[in-house]
Amino acid sequence: MQNESITYITAKSKWYRINFKELWRYRDLVLLFVKRNITTSYKQTILGPLWIIINPLISTVVFTVIFGVIANTSPAGVPQFLFYMSGNLLWSFFSSCLGKGSGTFLGNARLFGKVYFPRLCTPVADMAYSFLNYAIQMIVFVILTIVYACITPFVQPNWVLALVPLMVLQTAVLGMGVGLIISSITTKYRDLNILVSFGVSLWMYITPVVYPVARIPDWLYPLFMLNPVAPIMESYRYAFLGTGSFEWFYWLISLGVTVLVALFGLVVFSKVEKNFIDTV
């Protein structure tokens, strides 16, 4: 069967052209990348994929001890372990999307330099892989939440749960969007690569991951909620635990920012992808 479609390549192409149709044609590649990541991540480890669960459990224990027992940042009544776990899981999902996205060009330079396929395949696959890990962790979290909801009146899952899938998607898209922007800039300036690792951990502290928004003084509150991850985190936690609040206003702003960041990221990415191999 001969494919007769004609492709044109010119020096100047429109800046907004992002070829989603082509990406769709390469969907099998995305799936295979995800599969490759799954099969290779835990090769030659004893516990294997169990690490997906052990990892957040251990860090949640540490959070509980340091922030819960020592600093006592969690709101009264709410089971501390659950409180920190909810923040921890969503944040590590976000930072994993961001981190993987920001490594797209540098990490795949060799591959990209030798063969053409829609470059977006790799960040999309990375995002899917991060989501898979997150989903597995969520199973544990949901079970714990149900258990706690039965035994304590402080855990009250509510209607905002209906918005959670959208929030999770938003988290992924926001992380990836920021990641793609960073990735595009790092093809020329490696500074950002270094910035990412500690920048992300700093970002965590201005996001209500280990403390509730209620701790923020009123005068700082509007500014604080402009951090697009903050409203997601707060709403997400509210949905499962019933602690904190859900505010449409800030969440919609965050959603808007996410869309803008994602669009900007895609545009910059598609601009850089054409020639990055010459400068990387």
Residues binding another protein (CB under 8 A): 1-11, 13, 25-26, 28-29, 31-33, 35-36, 39-40, 43, 110-117, 188-192, 274-275, 277-279
Q: Which of 66, 12, 18, 11 is nearest to 265 (CA)?
A: 18
Q: What are phi and psi of 129, to 5 degrees?
A: -65, -45
Q: Which residue bears the tokens 């960040």?
A: 123
CB nearer to another protein: pick between 111 and 161 = 111
Number of CB atoms found within 10 A of residue 48's CB: 11
Q: Report in angstroms how near the CB of residue 40 gets to another protein at its nearest.
A: 5
Query: C-beta of 215: minimal distance to another protein in Å?
Result: 35
CB 227, min distance to another protein, A: 24
Q: How far is the CB of 106 from another protein (least distance, A)?
A: 13
Nearest Cα to Cα of residue 177 among 228, 252, 251? 228
Counting every residue written for the chain, the total comes to 280
Q: What's the token pair of residue 45?
A: 């480890």
CB nearer to another protein: pick between 18 and 253: 18
Of 64, 63, 79, 107, the closest CA to residue 204 belongs to 63
CA 182 to CA 211: how far, in whole Å? Answer: 28
- CB nearer to another protein: give 117 or 264: 117
Q: Residue 118 or residue 231: which is nearer to another protein going by CB?
A: 118
By C-beta, is 32 or 71 nearer to another protein? 32
Q: How far apart are CA 193 and CA 103, in angstroms?
A: 8
Closest contact distance (angstroms) between CB of 111 and another protein is 5
Instruction: List the Cα angle 27/196/16 in 5-degree steps.
Output: 45
Question: What's the rounded Cα separation, in Å, for the pair 80 and 193?
Answer: 34
Indicate the residue among 36 and 215 with the shorter CB distance to another protein: 36
* Closest separation in Å from C-beta 264 to another protein: 19
For residue 232 the two structure tokens come to: 């997601």
Cβ-defined contacts of 35-41 (< 8 Å, 24+): 37/125, 37/126, 37/129, 38/129, 38/132
Q: Which is nearer to another protein, 2 or 219 (CB)?
A: 2
| Shortest Å distance, C-beta 247 to another protein | 37
**Nearer to another protein (CB atom), residue 140 or residue 192:** 192
Q: How far is the CB of 49 from another protein (least distance, A)?
A: 15
The CA distances from residue 113 to 180, 184, 197, in Å, are 18, 15, 26
